[in-house]
Structures are given as C-alpha cells and as structure tokens.
Structure 1
Amino acid sequence: MINDFPDLSGIRILLVDDDADTRELITFVLEQCQAEVMAVMSAQAGFAAIAQNSPDLLISDISMPDEDGYSLMRRIRAYEVEQGRQQIPAIALTAFARDEDQRAAFAVGFQQYFAKPINPFDLVTMITVLVKTPEAAEQSIE
C-alpha cells in the first residue's frame, strides 16, 4: 500500500476512461491502496459492467468518443431507478476545469469532479469519503 494513503480494501471500483495511460495510472494507485478495480475503455463497456458487477463506486472520464461520461451517467441513473437499485457514488474526471463543466457533471448525477491531471491522494481520499459517507461527500473536497 502507498504510505499515508487511505486503505481501500474491499472497495470495488469501476473506472471508465478511453485513455490507456490514465486507466493504467489510476488502476495502479487504487490497487496499491488495496481496491478491486475493473478498468474499461468506453461508456458502453462501463454500462455493461454496472449492470453485471454492482461496483461500490464509479470513476468516469467525461470526454470519450461515441458516448461521453454525461450520457453514461444519465443512463446509469435511469437504470438504477428502473431496477430499484441504490445510486452508486460517482466521480467525474475531465481535462476541462470550467465551472459549467462541473455544474453539468453534478446535474447528471456525479457527486464529485476532478480535473486532470488528478492528485492521487485527493482521489483516494474522496473515494473513502464517498463510499463511507456519501451524504457528506459533496461538501468535503472542492
């Protein structure tokens, strides 16, 4: 485990990002913190993984070809309602750091928003907050 990072043992995370380097880096960091990570490269694969695996947390890139992270999140939230499932905590990742992008991410159902490049410690800390106390997550890291 990475020194001084929160322990993510037992937390199943779905990572959706079309960029291989980003997927590899985030997967490495999260696995070093003992999380179980399923990393996929498209919104379509991410939606299929949500339906089959019920992860504890979703991390999704916003800007992806074919279907973006906003569309993926809308589909997931509709699916959760349709299936009577509890909402999965979700973190949006993006290369854009504009206020309107952050508002759009929150509007479709993400609880947190990180601009790339991410700070690994902040990401791991936020995962801990979202999974253990989801109601407090929106105010904790700005």
Structure 2
Amino acid sequence: MLLEEEGADVVAVADAEEGAETAIRVLPDAVICDIDLPMMDGFYLIQRLRDHEIRGNLTPSIAIALTGHDGDEYRLRSIGEGFQHFMTKPAHPDALITLIQQSLSARMLS
C-alpha cells in the first residue's frame, strides 16, 4: 500500500461504523475517509471521532475527505462536519502524501 511504503501504519475498514470505532480506539494521527460509505457516511464517522476527541480533550486527528464528489456543497459540508482537508478522486498519490506530511508537521508546531 502506498502509505505503508512511506512508513505509515495503515488500518483499513469496511464501513463508517467500523471506521468510527477503530478511530476512537486507535486515535490515529490521520484519517482518510470517503464520504460515500456502506450503511453510514463519512460524515457520521468524523462526527463520532470529533465528539470523542472533544470529550476526552484529545488532539484532533488530521482528517481528509477523499471523495468522488467535487462540488462546493460537499467541500463546504466536509469542512463544516470536521474534516480539515478535502480531495477529489482520483487523488494523485504524491499530493495525498504531501498533504498528510504537511498537516502532521503543522500539527506538531502548534
């Protein structure tokens, strides 16, 4: 997997419910999530994670919405729901890696 080649530990899940439970348990540095997921959408996942982070006074995970939707409506909703970044598919692998690296560096500085 691309991110593993860059030294990342990657956990892949099948749906938003499993993703939310895993993210709450693992507390990852970054979450890359599609908006269109089986059963519940990516907005549900990020809302659950953000609620857990706020209640626990935890440093927020970097959250990237990676989706086939490219309209402003989805971009604005994604940011409003708790994603810090929005990328449309197909995302260039180098752009995704750069975004993650820059976001992690910025988080360490703050």
Which TM-score applies when normalising by structure 2? 0.92
Report whether the alignment pairs 1:76 with 2:49: yes
Distance, in Å, in 1 between the alignment partners of 2:101 and 2:78 is 20
Q: CA deviation at 1:135?
A: 9.2
Of 50, 57, 71, the residue aligned with 2:23 is 50
**What amino acid does structure 2 have at the position aligned with 1:31?**
E
Distance, in Å, in 1 between the alignment partners of 2:17 and 2:9 is 20
Q: Write the deviation string for residues 67-122 of structure 1: whole angstroms up to 9, x where unpaired.
A: 10111111111111112211111000111100110000000111111101110000
Q: CA deviation at 1:31?
A: 1.0
**SS of equivalent residue, structure 1 residue 127:** helix
Distance, in Å, in 2 between the alignment partners of 1:47 and 1:134 is 21
Percentage identity across paired residues of the two chains: 33
Task: Tell me which residue corresponds to 1:18.
Answer: none
> Could you list the runs of 4 or more consecutive aligned residues of structure 1 that deviate by over 6 angstroms after TM superposition?
none
**SS of equivalent residue, structure 2 residue 80:** helix
Distance, in Å, in 1 between the alignment partners of 2:81 and 2:88 is 17
Q: Write the deviation string for residues 5-60 of structure 1: whole angstroms up to 9, x where unpaired.
A: xxxxxxxxxxxxxxxxxxxxxxx111111111111111111111122212111111
What is the number of equivalent residue pairs in this alignment?
109
Runs of at least 5 residues in structure 1 that lack an aligned partner in the other structure: 1-27, 137-142
Higher strand share: 1
